[in-house]
Amino acid sequence: MFGLFEMGRYRLTRDQVVSIEPYGFIPVIGDGIRIRHKSPDVPEKIIFWCNPDSTLKAITNTGFIPAGQAGGASSAKASRGFPLRIVPIVIAVAIWNALFVLQIFLGDSTNAFPGPLILAAVALLFGTSVAALRLPGFQALLLKPGRSFEEVRPVFLLLTVISGLMLLVFTLRWAAKLFT
């Protein structure tokens, strides 16, 4: 039997791992496995986005069997509730809405959708989601104390993809409008 579980940059002994279980954030799109552990040196919530069935089978085939008991560091400080601070979310939603409303009131009726302020709103969302994925300091501003960015990484990945596609399409459409 193997006694060490190593995946990515985390190392856990089988005595530290309480369970390895399927985890679903968004059905089909956001499937993975969650590692429940009691190591104080590893983030509390560890999720690997993968095919859970084949990954769990591969882990079982290596002979790794979790032997940790519930309790310890990870379960002692079980995080509950929404991991993001509410103030940055309220500010972001207010700016987003203000840019859309300003575009509606300041734009003339002959201009086709989207206008420059709507482009700015989408660009701001894209930039914010990329910054959240890449900058630990920015993550710290968004997260409540004691929470891990891994808890919300899938949301920010989805925001990045959607806002990036919107930005591309809106920019192309706005540019086409300028040159016609």
The model's pLDDT over 139-148, given as tens digits with 9 standing for 90+, comes to 999 998 878 8
- String of b and e for 66-78 (b: at least 16 CB within 10 Å)? bebeeebebeeee
Task: Name residue 17's beta-bridge partners.
Answer: 37
User: Taking residues 67-93, what's their average pLDDT?
Assistant: 72
Task: Name residue 11's beta-bridge partners.
Answer: 6
The model's pLDDT over 148-163, given as tens digits with 9 standing for 90+, comes to 888 889 999 999 999 9
Q: Starting from the edge strand earliest in sequence, which strands make up the sheet with 17-24, in order? A: 17-24, 31-37, 46-49
The model's pLDDT over 160-179, given as tens digits with 9 standing for 90+, comes to 999 999 999 988 887 887 78
Domain boundaries, given as residue ranges, for the chain? 4-76, 86-178
pTM attached to this predicted model: 0.57
Residue 134 reports pLDDT greater than 60: yes
Please state, in angstroms and rounded to a whole number, the distance separating the CA atoms of residues 35 and 45. Answer: 7
